Structure 1
Amino acid sequence: MLSTPRGALAGRTVSRVGYGAMQLERLGKDQAVALLRRAVELGVDHIDTAQFYGNGFVNGVIRDAIGDDVLIAGKVGADPDPGGAFPLRLAQRPEELRASVEDNLRTLGLDRIPLVNLRRADRRPGLVAEGDQRVGLDDQLEVMTALRDEGKIGAIGLSAVTLDTLRRALPAGIACVQNAYSLVGRDDEDMLELCVAEGIAWVPFFPLGGAFPHLPKVTDEPAVQAAARALGHTPAQVGLAWLLHRAPNVHLIPGTASVAHLEANLAAADIALDGETLAELAAVPARSMDASLG
């Protein structure tokens, strides 16, 4: 088991390097179960998932592979759409959010999901809401807090939100924020600082950038490559280590379908970055996510 740093998330203390389960859908059932069990052996106790990952397949793997000592974070705001041009569709309306929670409970085999992230659809990257999928935040938070009061979810998180949305949601009690954030995509510095002040976990997705065409990649940056050579690690590990150094409330959920990459991702938690290296990395120019996608 690796000795990874720990931090608060949804009322529990967990390893600050968890696992994002989306890529498990690339594997067969036995391989996926084996990878997840290896992750837990190495100290992973926070797994991020969603019903739309493989149309319930990934949730089923989690149900079969792990026990109650792992914090499961689900996600709502979209549902599987296996027959569509894209494998998911937005599901932002309150009744759809409730149905999505019920679907996640069923496929995970749980009575209560410890943390559920509400994935808003009013900013990029990803699908942007149109028509009846443009739903007010208050209506969404009403059903999410009701589900929490009913004991079906333990804590509420937000994903793909603006600073104004987070401020408006604070009275509902927000446990974490999942936004795109990396060394080369630091649009949300003010939001990260607010999360630090409010004791809200910051869980960046696309932690190495480059998830869409034309987005910059952390691993392409000369400063990152130089730090990797000097430290004897990979550029990806340096990019993940920088995030952990950025703020004490940062939790990572890197995903992979490879045991070797899983072990490398977890080992990033043991990388110490000195002041000079951090200054060199901080000088890497950050590019706007919206501008890169536009």
Structure 2
Amino acid sequence: MEWFTKLPVVLQALLATLFTYGVTALGAATVFFFKDINRKVLDGMLGFAAGVMIAASFFSLLAPAIEMADAAHARGSGLPSWAAAAIGFLLGGIFLRLTDVLLPHLHQGAGNPEGIKTNWGRSILLVLAITLHNIPEGLAVGVGFGAASIVPGASLAGALSLALGIGLQNFPEGAAVSIPLRRDGMSRSRSFFIGQASGIVEPIAAVVGSALVLSMQAILPYALSFAAGAMIFVVAEELIPEAYSEGNEHIATAGLMFGFALMMMMDVGLG
């Protein structure tokens, strides 16, 4: 891993999110072997993804943001730690909500598209819906690598554990997209294309996030909490409601608990 530590930070973030994208594509590729997926399994997978994202939001993003803001405030600069974290967190949720309102997209299983009206095809709208909710994951990894390079106490291992956790939850997410599309009659290749396309935005968002924090280090606590707020928005707006929609609440909750515990152990153990 010594070669990796010598790479520029932005390139580290890019490579890490190319891994998370690859895991998304790997999950989407299960459509070539399965035409259907048991709804209980799907809801458990969605719950697992939600648990990983909740744990990552706190242990990898919010907690470091609060520590950094507290240290800056103690030096006589910046807002109190609770204010900086709260502002960034809420801005992350507001950003996702505005994007959700403005960007044309179609959620799987929904009858009508959301956002600004457009004549774009169903496949494009489905990709946009899933892509929208992968932006925070890429941002989180990019900001994590940026923090590891400039903040005492932040480690490259912590950033790598965040990327690994995001990658783990991307596998079931990829499968949860492509297999239901196949079940609804779409071809295997097209279902795979849409499933893997959902992860393409993560490397882009990671590069943007890492570049921003390197050029404007003062915004790092806000950037970390912003990514956390955006991820929690996705969990509350999409993952948990979808996982609970078919009456499998207990299975989804078990998946969430396991995902949270796994990400917590990875972050604390490796970071």
TM-score by length of 1: 0.24
Higher relative contact order (CA 8 A, sep 6+): 2
More helix by share: 2
Q: TM-score, normalised by structure 2?
A: 0.26
